Every structure is written in structure tokens, then in C-alpha cells.
């Protein structure tokens, strides 16, 4: 009786280990991954990254945080964002992103030149934007950022990797 119980527990334990390995591998299967400066910041439970043939939808706050920006929320809609002595205000209700020191209050969430439409969706304390708008925002902030979307990896259900790299002088 004791041997049967040990065998049964052994089989059950082996099944649990195999299912855990299978689940952890399949969680990333076919889903886009987001890496910032070679660090995977993908939230597997709440993956906000979507890749399409012409553009990708990316989480701005997650990217800014991974790039070392300090995010301080005044409330659920307004965030003060700073790094290296520069500060910005993101208003998720009014869909504005401006620099505190800007006299003209240029809204970095306006469509970039040559792009009449942008994708934006507010999701709790996050804003999802298309990669062209995110690239334009970093240009306005004076940052040299490379956004690389490796769409070729979509074959064989391998995850598409969206990598964002800050190019330092």
C-alpha cells in the first residue's frame, strides 16, 4: 500500500513538473516580447505589446521606466516624468505629453510628421502607442532610440521580439 502511494505521488509530481515546464515555455509562444536595452520587460500576464505588418503597439510608461525615467503619479491620470534634469507631464485624460520647461507646451502625443493617425489607448496607468509615435516622442525628448521589430521570427510560433535600445554617445 505504501509503495503504491509513493508511486502515485511520484507520477503526480512528475506530471506537475512537466506541466509547469510546458506552461512556462508556451506562455511566450507566438506572443510578442518587449526588450529595452536588452532586458526583457514583457509582462506575460498582461502583455500589452501587439505587432502588425505596418506598426507595433507598445506601452510608453513601461518603456520609460525601463529606460530609467522616474514616474510619479499625481493621480490615476497625471504623471510627472523625469530623468537627467528634464521633466515632463503626461495627462492620460487629455492625451497630452509635454515638457515642463516648454513655453509653447508642444504635445508629444500629436501625430508625427507624415503620419496623420496615431494609435493610442489608455490602460489604467499606461498609454499604448504605435511605434512611430514612440520614436517621435523620444526624438522630441532628445534621446537617440532604436526600435527594432523582428517580424521574421513570427514563423514557427516563435515570439516576435520588439527591442528598444538607447544609443549612448
45 lies in the same domain as 126: yes
- Nearest Cα neighbor of 92 from 120, 132, 55 is 120
Domain count, the chain: 2
80 part of a folded domain? no
- pLDDT tens for 50-75 read 888 778 889 999 999 999 999 999 99
9 lies in the same domain as 36: no
119 part of a folded domain? yes
As a whole number of angstroms, the distance between CA 107 and CA 101 comes to 13
59 lies in the same domain as 138: yes
User: Where would I find the H helices in the chain?
Assistant: 2-27, 60-66, 131-140
**Range of the structural domain that residue 13 is part of:** 1-30
8 lies in the same domain as 64: no
5 lies in the same domain as 39: no
CB 74 within 8 A of CB 84: no
162 lies in the same domain as 127: yes
93 part of a folded domain? no
Top pLDDT among 6 and 71 is at 71
59 lies in the same domain as 123: yes
Whether pTM > 0.85 for this model: the answer is no
50 lies in the same domain as 112: yes
pLDDT higher than threshold 80 for residue 117? no
Amino acid at each position: 500500500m505504501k509503495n503504491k502511494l509513493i508511486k502515485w505521488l511520484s507520477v503526480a509530481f512528475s506530471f506537475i513538473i512537466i506541466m509547469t515546464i510546458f506552461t512556462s515555455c508556451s506562455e511566450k509562444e507566438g506572443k510578442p516580447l518587449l526588450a529595452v536595452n536588452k532586458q526583457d520587460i514583457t509582462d506575460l500576464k498582461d502583455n500589452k505589446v501587439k505587432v502588425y505588418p505596418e506598426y507595433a503597439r507598445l506601452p510608453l510608461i513601461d518603456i520609460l521606466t525601463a529606460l530609467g525615467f522616474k514616474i510619479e503619479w499625481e493621480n490615476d491620470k497625471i504623471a510627472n516624468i523625469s530623468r537627467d534634469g528634464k521633466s515632463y507631464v503626461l495627462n492620460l485624460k487629455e492625451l497630452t505629453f509635454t515638457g515642463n520647461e516648454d513655453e509653447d507646451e508642444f504635445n508629444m502625443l500629436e501625430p508625427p510628421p507624415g503620419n496623420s493617425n496615431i494609435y493610442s489607448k489608455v490602460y489604467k496607468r499606461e498609454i499604448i502607442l504605435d511605434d512611430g509615435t514612440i520614436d517621435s516622442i523620444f526624438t522630441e525628448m532628445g534621446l537617440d532610440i532604436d526600435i527594432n521589430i523582428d517580424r521574421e521570427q513570427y514563423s514557427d510560433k516563435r515570439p516576435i521580439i520588439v527591442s528598444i535600445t538607447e544609443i549612448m554617445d
